[in-house]
Structure 1
Amino acid sequence: MIAVTCAWTWRRCNRPPERLPTMLFKNEFHDDFGTWPLAYIPYGGADFGEVRAVADAVGDGDDGAFHEAFVAAGDRLKGEGDEALAKGHEVSARESYLRASTFYAASFHPIFGAPVDPRLLAAYRKQVAALNAALALGPHPVKPLSIPFGETPMPGYFIPAHGFETERRPLVILNNGYDATITDTYFASAVAASRRGYHALLFDGPGQGAMLYEEGIPLRPDWEVVVNAVVDFAVALPLVDPERIALYGWSLGGHLAPRGASGEPRLAALIADPGTWSIADGFRKVVVSKFGIAPEAAADLGTLDQAVIDRLDAIIRKDRTLHWKIVQRGFWVHGVDNLRAFFASAEPFALKGRAELVQCPTLITQTEGDALAEDAGTFLDALTCPTTLLSFTAAEGADGHCEMQNRSLLNRRVFDWLDEQFA
């Protein structure tokens, strides 16, 4: 997912300062991660009281306490699901397992990093088991999929359209971002897609979920290779209308999905939430404005003077949020172990020379208070395909990265647009 807002910039802008007193978690860093499940309430991923109870349990605790509180909540919900299933209450069991998956998924973000923390792997495996247990119940069971991809297949799920489970329908491929999992994507978009009559295909690509946690495979910039493999798999599914396939990326997926679409002509629609032009440009602006580096000297961050690299590294390591975003997450996801290598690995993640290759109608979101959406207008201008810009505001309660405080509004507008494209 979702990245914490401003995933690769310097500002903390997940919520305006005046909102800080309303935090559920005492620690701002914990609140950024711990409130993700609130976005999933409309889709059966949590209830407010459950999240508040976890926040109370964490209290003034550290990252270990955060992890333990969320895992304990997941264990409780998993136990309730087991008990319900033993008594024949499949609906309650499914709901409990789904919520358990959400809480396990929320537990391990603060302990990101390489080498992989054994607690992260344990919680992740519980998350997957709970999700699989939930999706296996009901009149139309869903099983995990394996999408062929080189030597290591990508894990995925095909979520059928509600009420059209056995019919050929349009498909939405949901493309994750920097640090969310399939569970997050399921609640953030797949449930909404299913309710609107769309089949949904979820997957972990390189640098995401199981591909990173279990296989150690880092993120790659040529995302069209990934999308080609996913679309190859999708068009072979008998329930998929191959003429109506949309690719929908959120968070860093708002960059990866357009990059993928730039090399995949079989897509009929593209959604980027938010449309993100580059990973490195956010850093580049800071290097130029805050450190007085000439723009030409910052054209390739991987070649910066070592003294500048050292100053940046010192700033990053002293700041809890920046340390997590860059050292814990960035180094791990990109498969590097130092700042210069991270900058060098980030440079190829740019849409220059690729945006004009996108052929299908494209929707880009731009949200108030989200630094990753600041270049949406520039992104839009670079596209030569039919385009639409959707804006979201604080007045709607939909500000911040990926509209996490009003995800249902985002989904209504996005799927209204997709309805029109596929009409």
Structure 2
Amino acid sequence: MTDPATPAREPLPHAELPVIDTREAFDAAVADLAAGSGPFAVDAERASGFRYSQRAYLIQVYRRGSTVALFDPPALGDLGALADAMRGEEWILHAASQDLACLREVGLDPERIFDTELGARLAGLPRVGLGTVVEDLLGIHLAKEHSAADWSTRPLPQSWLVYAALDVELLPDLRDALAAILDEQGKNEIARQEFDAVLAHRTPVREEPWRRLSGIHAIRQARNLAVARELWEARDAYAREIDTAPGRLVPDAALTAAARVLPASKRELAALKEFTGRASRSQIDRWFAAIEAGRATTDLPQVRPPGDALPPPRVWGDKNPEADARLRAARPAVAEVAERLGLPVENLLTPDYLRRVAWTPPSPADAAGLAAALAALGARPWQVEATAQVIADAFVAPPQTVGEPSEAPS
């Protein structure tokens, strides 16, 4: 790490950076990247909070021996030649899970990655944001003032493009610094398994996505929930149609307010002060039609949807005292392993996995049984090896004092 007494230096200024949006410029940039050496540093910029889609509006690629390439995917279309040039090489990304979906959407799918955000977590660094890790390890101050910008804007301002270029230009050096720390800590295999797990993960399609509305848990009547569902679906369809983030049209709080009140007319809906948003009045016919559809439907949702969610640990003492005792004993034991390895406890073992084996332990609940149960839940081999025996020992240890909280205070 850099000496904390040494002030961070500013990155070098860039000349004017072009956006690659023509086939001729694309071919030249791909050839330049192919002539470089080492892993590819990759980042993508979306327009989250502005657009409905999560597509990439700018893709930055860099490797040593080349110049930073700033690709405009909507303008270019087919990126097959770029994918071919990058095939078989390691890609460096920061918080890869945020970008892999939009990269795969345009045909860019890595075979091997080094995730610098995850690597920083595994190395036990206290701060893992790109700007802070770059400053801590490379001594460069990386401003992040454009991270929440609308990257669908055209033309893109030069200050944004400089920001975007720096996001990848520094990744090879950052990767090497983190790799050295992980190697020194004996965590190379841990990192490899974690990076492979990020690559293998696919976000499941959520059933009944309308239940993610903020404030929906306060609605406890099936009819009102049906109205909330119809309002969510109407907003989602309109947002998709005009490619705008749904919350920019009508916020969640407005939809749940209307679902609670059930306005009997458009006039009543328009008079509802909680029903806000830039499309709340201009699309009043759309929203009221959704309310009427929810009032009329016979397809009423369940108030409490079926699922495999466990009760919150704070009520385990009443609902399942044996499971509560197991969890009380295992949590500090797992935390001790995490501290010894210099890892955040959530990276050592997903907390939900521990709760599940505590609630319904395998039979027998020995190290082998717990190893199989944890692996079935999705724990990586290194996680199983580090925790299965510890959890098994904790499960047979004397329970903690009755009344001790199951969860550490937030």
- Fold shared per TM-score above 0.5: no
From the CA coordinates, give the structure whose radius of gyration is larger.
2
RCO comparison, higher one (Cα < 8 Å, 6+): 1
* TM-score (norm. length: structure 1): 0.26
Greater fraction strand: 1
* TM-score (norm. length: structure 2): 0.26
